[in-house]
């Protein structure tokens, strides 16, 4: 945060993130919610850009904002009503909800305030992706591979679940 432009951009993006996040909850239509979620993700990605974490920003856009369209499809396929006007968005559990919100806010606020942040005076390296690549394939190679195997298992599981059952086939159980 050096120049006035960066500070201005920080506040602008922060407001955009918060506004989009509120709209996700307050929207009346499921698809609108998902679209606001996409706005929120892209705003978070621009925050990463501002902080010189360009690789993280692009991953954010590709993984989160790109997957939003899939979520919209589920939203359309799983909801029967075209809009949520008939659904109850606000119920009468106001006191309990307030309590939960206050506890969560106090907890996160306290933890954030008490945390000892790791602050480095070093300049941000210009070429982050080379470092990330080297670290992923040397120091963190085992977690990286375990995550890959986990994804593969999930993929195969999804294929097995979605596999067409042939009419003549006997079930095994």
H helices of the chain, in order, are 4-26, 30-50, 54-59, 66-78, 94-114, 128-136, 141-162
Q: Which long-range contacts (CB under 8 A, 24 or more apart) does 126-132 make?
A: 128/52, 128/53, 128/54, 128/55, 129/55, 132/55
Binding other proteins by CB under 8 A: which of 15, 76, 135, 156?
A: 76
- Closest separation between CB of residue 87 and other proteins, Å? 17
Q: Is 54 in the site for other proteins (CB under 8 A)?
A: yes
Rule CB under 8 A: choose which of 7, 12, 26, 62 binds other proteins: 62
Contacting other proteins (CB under 8 A), which of 13, 33, 43, 61? 61
Candidate residues 69, 93, 98, 108; the one interacting with other proteins per rule CB under 8 A: 69
Least separation in angstroms between residue 63's CB and other proteins is 9
84 scored as a contact of other proteins (CB under 8 A): no
What is the closest distance, in whole angstroms, from the C-beta atom of residue 11 to other proteins in the complex? 20
Tell me how far CA of residue 89 lies from CA of 26, 28, 38, in angstroms. 8, 8, 21
Name the burial class of residue 3, with classes exposed (0-12), middle (13-18) and buried (19+) by CB atoms within 10 angstroms of its CB: exposed
Cα–Cα distance for residue pair 46/17, rounded to 1 Å: 10
Q: Least distance to other proteins from the beta carbon of 12, Å?
A: 17
What's the CA gap between 132 and 82, in Å, rounded? 44
Residue 35 makes contact with other proteins by CB under 8 A: yes
Contact residues: other proteins, CB under 8 A: 29, 31-32, 35, 38, 42, 54-55, 58-59, 61-62, 65-66, 68-70, 72-73, 76, 126-127, 129
């Amino acid at each position: 945060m050096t120049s006035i432009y960066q500070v201005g951009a920080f506040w602008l993006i922060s407001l955009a993130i918060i506004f989009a996040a509120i709209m996700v909850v307050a929207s009346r239509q499921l698809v609108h919610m998902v679209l606001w979620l996409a706005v929120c993700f892209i705003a978070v990605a621009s925050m990463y850009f501002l902080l010189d974490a360009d690789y993280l920003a692009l991953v954010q856009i590709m993984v989160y904002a790109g997957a939003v369209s899939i979520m919209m499809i589920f939203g359309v396929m799983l909801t029967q009503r075209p809009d949520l006007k008939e659904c109850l968005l606000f119920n009468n559990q106001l006191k309990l909800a307030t309590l939960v919100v206050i506890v969560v806010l106090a907890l996160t606020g306290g933890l954030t305030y008490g945390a000892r942040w790791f602050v480095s005076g070093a300049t941000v390296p210009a070429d982050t992706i080379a470092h990330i690549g080297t670290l992923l394939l040397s120091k963190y190679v085992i977690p990286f591979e375990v995550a890959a195997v986990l994804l593969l298992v999930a993929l195969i599981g999804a294929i097995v679940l979605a596999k067409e059952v042939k009419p003549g086939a006997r079930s095994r159980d």
